[in-house]
Chains A and B, each alone.
Chain A
Amino acid sequence: MANTMTVETTAGTRVFKTSKYNRREALAGYLFISPWIVGFLIFTLGAMIYSLVISFTYYQLATNTARPAGLANYEALFDDPKVMMSLGNTLFYAVLAVPLEIIFALFLAMLLNNVRRGAGVFRTLYYLPKMTPAVATASVFFLLLNGNQGAINKGLAAIGIQGPQWLLDPNWVKPSIVLMTLWGVSGTMVIFLAALKTVPRDLYEVAQIDGAGPVRRFFSITLPMISGAMFFNVIVLTIAALQTFDQAYLLFYRDTGTGAPDASLFYAIYLFQQAFRQFNFGFAAAMAWLLFLIIMIISLVQVKLGNRFVYYESER
């Protein structure tokens, strides 16, 4: 019914449209957004099309020629064991890192939210790691995580725990990176803190009068009220985890002379190696599209789940 309405009034809407938009104003609007349009056409849309084209070719950087390859690059994705291995590593890391980051960030945020004096000072201190460049973090943790002499293992030894060879033992490579990520979790914490501040205090009061304990208050009030921020953090952290590059590169792949444990081969690292060390641009482009597909699927699943669980106050 709505369709027939619009068809019938096509001529009418056209007249209406010209009167709705002031021509000078529209032109000025387009002029103001033109930088973004140009950038989008070249560096986003253009780049994506270019990438898609290249993924079906053998691209030669030296001669700037692209020999058609058909689906060969995509077939190679499944033939190359390192692609699947790096994908497995990356997914494993994401599954390990994201929940820990969420829990730790929320814990810290609630800790800060409940303190009445000095919250500002602590928030500043907690935020400092976020300001530290990845190179500095990696170079310090490279030494702190040293299996024999590092401060972390010496600290563990002091309480009677034999620390692992963090950066050498394949089983502990990913937990090492998780540890570094957790140290810089304050960006996520700040979002949770802001969300916690918007939870009306009277809800807690009423719940307390009704006899709800702290655990019940957390699950029935806090969690639903901050579910929007939770949803956002999960999506952003997942996308970031799937593209982890800096820490792994600095700890294991910076020095091409030494062999790195297979457990540290992340997808973004392997993509980088294929593109900018081996110059297999066609293969790297195919890898990028596979990652894109995976990220899209995961994000879609998260959005679908999120719609079920996220509570928006305005929808009540």
Chain B
Amino acid sequence: MNNILHVENLGINFGGLRAVDNFYMDIYGNELVGLIGPNGAGKTTVFNMLTGIYAPSEGKIELMGESIINKKINDIAKMGIARTFQNIRLFNNLSVVDNIKVALNSSHLYSLKDSLFRTKKYYQAEEDMENEAMELLKIMHLDDLAYTLAANLPYGKQRELEIARALALKPKLLLLDEPAAGMNPKETLELINTIRYVQDYFKVSILLIEHDMNLVMELCKRITVLNYGMVLKVGSPLEIQNDEEVIKAYLGN
């Protein structure tokens, strides 16, 4: 079995608060999994543990069989977990193509010496980076905006750029934190197509947090419901929709 992500017994305390408890999850190759739950359930905390921002108090996280616990954030990113953020975090002072180039850094390394003396390696790396970034932007339909400042993009395009930047790391697992937040129905529809396309084209597994149930039910094959930091239910969209406990968690008694 091609198990991409294996999470077991994951927990974290913030002082006396048990934010996430006994969380488990398995993601297989090229799969699209949803993580839902009411506000404050601990979904983003799980993301932050998966990307190394928080160190879990206990538990196992394995990416392709290799533990990522206590690894540095940038090393985890290089190992193959890339993410987007709930509130878009682009490099607003850089152009669209430069945003991608920053994320391409680890695959096109050249030293300060190369940039000081403008060696052959510098020109080669810069050219490769430009080509690769433009190719990626073309796939994401952002190539005509390549040289505009990221801050000047419309909202929907900023989301797409953030996804493109995450893809530049060539991840095995892509984490999307509320990608449809603040989007109108038309933009959400476009986003659904984009996510599907990305999954097919890059053969990447995707884990997404979302409150927009249309998007979740449309896209995800499997859904994990989180409530008060604990896994409430794992199942297919149909199972989740008809589960009484899940409905109770969202709507109350």
B and A form one assembly: no
B residues at A contact (CB < 8 Å): none
A residues at B contact (CB < 8 Å): none
